[in-house]
C-alpha cells in the first residue's frame, strides 16, 4: 500500500527564542534521559543476578524518565482506559520516535524492533540498555525469535510492537502486518497470553500543521528532535487502551491482527473526529510489459 508521496514538513527557521527553548528543554532532557539510563544500568547490575529476566525495580526508572521527558518537552499526556494486568503483548499504531516516550510513560513495556536499529548511533545503545527485543526479517530465524518471545512473555514482560511495520505522518493507521502475531500461537503461549491494542493520537496545538509530530520516510531524527525542542507551544498526545484480546479465543494470526487493527483504527478515529481527510492512497504502479 502506497501512501507516502515524499512530502515532508517545512519548519519555521529557528531564531533566538527557538535557540533558547532548545537549550532550556534539551539540556535537562538529555540529563534526565542519560542520567536515568546510568542509574538503570547500575541497578540492573544487582537486579540481573538476583532476578534474571524479571525486572522488579528498573521499570519504574524508565517510566519516571519518560514522564519527565514529556513534561520537559511540554507535550501533555492524556490516557483513556488502562494497561492490562495479564501477561502478553501490546500493539499500537506508529507515528513518531516520540511513541517510545509516550508508551513508556504509562507502564513499562519492552519494544520489539528491527535488528538494524541496534546499530544506530545513540538510539541503538539506548534500546539495548532498556531491554529492546531485536528481530531479523529472516524466516530462518523464526524459531529462535519465537523462543525469545516465549521466554520474555512468560517472564511477565509486556512486549510492544508496531504491526504497521513503519512510522507514518500521524494522520492514518496502515494495515497491520500479520507475521509477528504468529509467534503468539506457539503451544506454550496461546493459552497464557493476551494482546492489548492501543491507539496513539497526537493533537498539535491550534493552528499548527496536522502532521507536526509525524516522523516518516527520510526525515532526519536529529532535525525532527531539534524542531520539537524549538516549538513555542506543544499540544497533547492521547493514548487509548482497548480491552485485551485472549489469544486462546482467536483461530489464527490473521484474525488476531485484524481484531487488533480494528480496535486501534476505531480509537484513532474516535480521538480525531475533526482531522482532515488524508490524501488518497495511490495504487502500486503496474510493471512494464
| Residue 22, in any domain of the structure | no
Rounded average pLDDT over 127-153: 78
| Residue 194, in any domain of the structure | yes
| Residue 47, in any domain of the structure | no
What would the DSSP string read from start to end of 165-225?
SS---SS--PPPP-GGGGGGGSHHHHTT-EEEEEEEEEEPPTTS-TTTT---TT--HHHHH
| Residue 32, in any domain of the structure | no
285 pLDDT more than 50: no
| Residue 1, in any domain of the structure | no
| Residue 51, in any domain of the structure | no
pLDDT of 279 reads 40
pLDDT, tens digit, 9 for 90 and up, residues 18-68: 999 999 999 999 999 999 999 998 998 999 899 888 888 888 999 999 999
pLDDT, tens digit, 9 for 90 and up, residues 91-132: 999 999 999 999 999 988 898 887 777 777 666 767 777 778
147 pLDDT more than 70: yes
> Which domain covers residue 118, as residue numbers?
76-271
| Residue 245, in any domain of the structure | yes
| Residue 218, in any domain of the structure | yes
Are 118 and 124 spatial neighbours (Cβ–Cβ below 8 Å)? Answer: yes
Query: How far apart, in whole angstroms, are the C-alpha atoms of residue 221 and residue 235?
Result: 20
Residues 253, 183, 158, 86, Cα dihedral to 10°: 60
pLDDT of 156 reads 87
Tell me how many domains the chain contains. 1
Query: How far apart, in whole angstroms, are the C-alpha atoms of residue 135 and residue 218?
Result: 22
Top-confidence residue, 148 or 78: 78
Amino acid at each position: 500500500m502506497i501512501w507516502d508521496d515524499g512530502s515532508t514538513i517545512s519548519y519555521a527557521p529557528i531564531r533566538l527564542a527557538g535557540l533558547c527553548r532548545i537549550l532550556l528543554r534539551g539540556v535537562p532532557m538529555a540529563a534526565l534521559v542519560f542520567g536515568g539510563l546510568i542509574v538503570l544500568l547500575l541497578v540492573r547490575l544487582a537486579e540481573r543476578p538476583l532476578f534474571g529476566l524479571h525486572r522488579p525495580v528498573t521499570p519504574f526508572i524508565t517510566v519516571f524518565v519518560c514522564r519527565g521527558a514529556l513534561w520537559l518537552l511540554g507535550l501533555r499526556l492524556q490516557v483513556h482506559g488502562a494497561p492490562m494486568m495479564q501477561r502478553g503483548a501490546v500493539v499500537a499504531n506508529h507515528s513518531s520516535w516520540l511513541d517510545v516516550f509516550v508508551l513508556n510513560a504509562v507502564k513499562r513495556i519492552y519494544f520489539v524492533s528491527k535488528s538494524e536499529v541496534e546499530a544506530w548511533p545513540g538510539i541503538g545503545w539506548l534500546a539495548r540498555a532498556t531491554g529492546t527485543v531485536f528481530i531479523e526479517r529472516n524466516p530462518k530465524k523464526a524459531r529462535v525469535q519465537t523462543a525469545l518471545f516465549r521466554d520474555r512473555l512468560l517472564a511477565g514482560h509486556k512486549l510492544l510492537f508496531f504491526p504497521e511495520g513503519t512510522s507514518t505522518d500521524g494522520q492514518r493507521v496502515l494495515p497491520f502486518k500479520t507475521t509477528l502475531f504468529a509467534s503468539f500461537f506457539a503451544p506454550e503461549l496461546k493459552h497464557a497470553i493476551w494482546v492489548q491494542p492501543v491507539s496513539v493520537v497526537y493533537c498539535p496545538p491550534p493552528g499548527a500543521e496536522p502532521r507536526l509530530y509525524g516522523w516518516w520516510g527520510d526525515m532526519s531524527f536529529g532535525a525532527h528532535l531539534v524542531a520539537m525542542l524549538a516549538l513555542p507551544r506543544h499540544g497533547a498526545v492521547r493514548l487509548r487502551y482497548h480491552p485485551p484480546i485472549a489469544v486462546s479465543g482467536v483461530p489464527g494470526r490473521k484474525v488476531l491482527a485484524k481484531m487488533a487493527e480494528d480496535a486501534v483504527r476505531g480509537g484513532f478515529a474516535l480521538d480525531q473526529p475533526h482531522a482532515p481527510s488524508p490524501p488518497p492512497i495511490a495504487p502500486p504502479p503496474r510493471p512494464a510489459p
